[in-house]
Structure 1
């Protein structure tokens, strides 16, 4: 009675000629990343069931659908079904009527506000910008404060570094992807500093490197593999979705 699949693979169930209402519930995880047509595939499996329920789990303010087609982007497919719904009047916030339920109708929206991953100063700005300053810290202080006091931090109790690099953005041949050699070297320097920190011993799984360009991933990968750090994961934002690390290094190029 329980079937687990991707949104697209759910289309195979239509070929089984299941009776209408065979599935009473559909749960779509990471719905903020799925395109609208993708979401409608599994939703159609309960469309004829009068008591069927659809649950979209996700965050409309985080990663949206990844599209390769400019035509799809032009016609609005970059907006997820979750985001489109949350903008409808039925899902509007009402801080008076639903004061005890995060300002949303509890029959329609459940808003999760507990943050278990980040230091409070790191999510304070997105909390103000996107979540009406409602995010609360429930993280383990021993975990999120482990690098507070690190000598390389400009502010010892603020575990965030912005490092400007005067490099050159380059491309190779016909590749549309960009890379920045100086920025890649700076990433390596920070990796070495983090891994050599004797005050906070780190494993390879504790550190991750994010960059939006595939070519920059390749350049960083070559550098760190040559230094024996091949176990450090380097990838795009999408590749790190749902994961967490004690230290994240972002190369914006």
Structure 2
């Protein structure tokens, strides 16, 4: 062999790679590698191209493998989960983050929906099914017949629970992300009490803690490592929504972060007005990913008042209230969660103001559903008229 020490030269490696690919019936590659020079040196083309996670890539990247003689293309993905990561806001404004999957779907191209889910407990899938999938999700036999885990004996531990905590959001020093210390403290107490009562959750990484903000993820990792030790910390997976895309855990604790923001001052010393929005936490695709990672228990920790400015979050909070799964903790949190684990804490009843907000969100949802029905009816009428013509 050529090269130093008898190693294979770069040219020889390329020839070997081409020889292997020429004989392969199925070739797996990333979209970018599908455009490498080695594919252009093959003695054949690829008739069929299958693109996985097709709703999470921009259109130009999907075009790369389609120029290899493709006659049939299959796009597999979920357009109501995370889109492609596009840093430029101007590019997003011009639709660059729209995938080819989504564009074809919007153009009326028929989409085959695989609507049976085999991950989530039926009580967890109930809300995303109605909110994001028009009620079309079907629970597979394996999740319907699966016996409840022992931690379901306490309502605070699932299968679904919303813990309303009036925490404040802060911007850490030298950072642009957000943290919520009160939520982090409660999440730590939840994890500690849950694993203390159910040690099997520590025999493998069965618990996931999810947050939309990287700063909160780092803060949670630091606090859990400091409070519980490195060995226990390794048994919990703490990551952002993006980091959990395509993954699952038995138990997921979701820290929303957004809440009341501390007063800040401008350069003249005047207090700035607090923002009423909740940023990209309101993105329905991020909400959908965040609340569909859990198999047996989903525990959402957030500030209900702050989150209810968004229609989707209002609907989730209303769903938790209607099912008797909304709790408001009292300090000290460790003691309160211990009491809740023993069934000594009752779910809260909504205030008159909350009922009004939730009813408005319900009316908006009904109006949106009716508008969707009218749009579908118009599309069907247009298709029928086109066929007659």
Q: For residue 74 of structure 1, what is the aligned residue in structure 2?
A: 93
Q: For residue 31 of structure 2, what is the aligned residue in structure 1?
A: 7
Candidates 12, 15, 22, aligned match of 2:45: 22
Candidates 151, 156, 159, aligned match of 1:153: 156
Q: Which runs of 5+ in 2 are unaligned?
A: 1-23, 258-389
Candidates 53, 60, 63, aligned match of 2:82: 63
Distance 2:223 2:147 in 1: 28
Distance 1:131 1:146 in 2: 27
Shift of 1:26: 0.9
* Deviations, residues 95-154 of structure 1 (Å, cap 9, x unaligned): xxxxxxxxxxxxxx4321111111112212222233332221113356573256432439
* Match status 1:35 vs 2:58: yes
* Deviations, residues 57-78 of structure 1 (Å, cap 9, x unaligned): 1111111112111122121112
Q: Which moved more, 1:141-150 or 1:64-73?
A: 141-150
Distance 1:143 1:248 in 2: 18
TM-score normalised per structure 1: 0.81
- Rg (Cα) greater in structure: 2
* Match status 1:126 vs 2:144: no
Distance 2:191 2:182 in 1: 14
Structure 1 pair 77/14, CA: closer, same or farther in 2 (3 Å)? farther
Q: For residue 217 of structure 1, what is the aligned residue in structure 2?
A: 217
Are the aligned partners of 2:171 and 2:177 in contact in 1 as well (CA < 8 Å)? yes
Structure 1 pair 142/148, CA: closer, same or farther in 2 (3 Å)? farther
Candidates 96, 106, 118, aligned match of 1:87: 106
Shift of 1:36: 1.5
SS at match of 2:171: coil
* Deviations, residues 203-224 of structure 1 (Å, cap 9, x unaligned): 3411001111111111000111
Q: Which runs of 5+ in 1 are unaligned?
A: 92-108
Are the aligned partners of 2:122 and 2:144 in contact in 1 as well (CA < 8 Å)? no
SS at match of 1:38: helix
Greater RCO (CA < 8 Å, at least 6 residues apart): 2
Give the superposed CA RMSD.
2.3
Distance 1:197 1:174 in 2: 39
Alignment of 1:55-204 (within 5 A): 55-91=74-110, 109-138=111-140, 139-141=142-144, 143=146, 145-146=148-149, 149-153=152-156, 159-198=159-198, 201-203=200-202, 204=204
Distance 1:62 1:147 in 2: 31
Distance 1:223 1:14 in 2: 48
Q: For residue 241 of structure 1, what is the aligned residue in structure 2?
A: 245
Shift of 1:90: 3.1
**How many matched pairs?**
227
TM-score normalised per structure 2: 0.54
Looking at secondary structure, tell me which structure has more helix per residue: 2
Q: For residue 95 of structure 1, what is the aligned residue in structure 2?
A: none
Are the aligned partners of 1:143 and 1:246 in contact in 2 as well (CA < 8 Å)? no
Are the aligned partners of 1:119 and 1:144 in contact in 2 as well (CA < 8 Å)? no
SS at match of 1:161: strand
Are the aligned partners of 1:207 and 1:245 in contact in 2 as well (CA < 8 Å)? yes
SS at match of 2:124: helix
* Deviations, residues 158-194 of structure 1 (Å, cap 9, x unaligned): 6211112222211223311111111111111111122
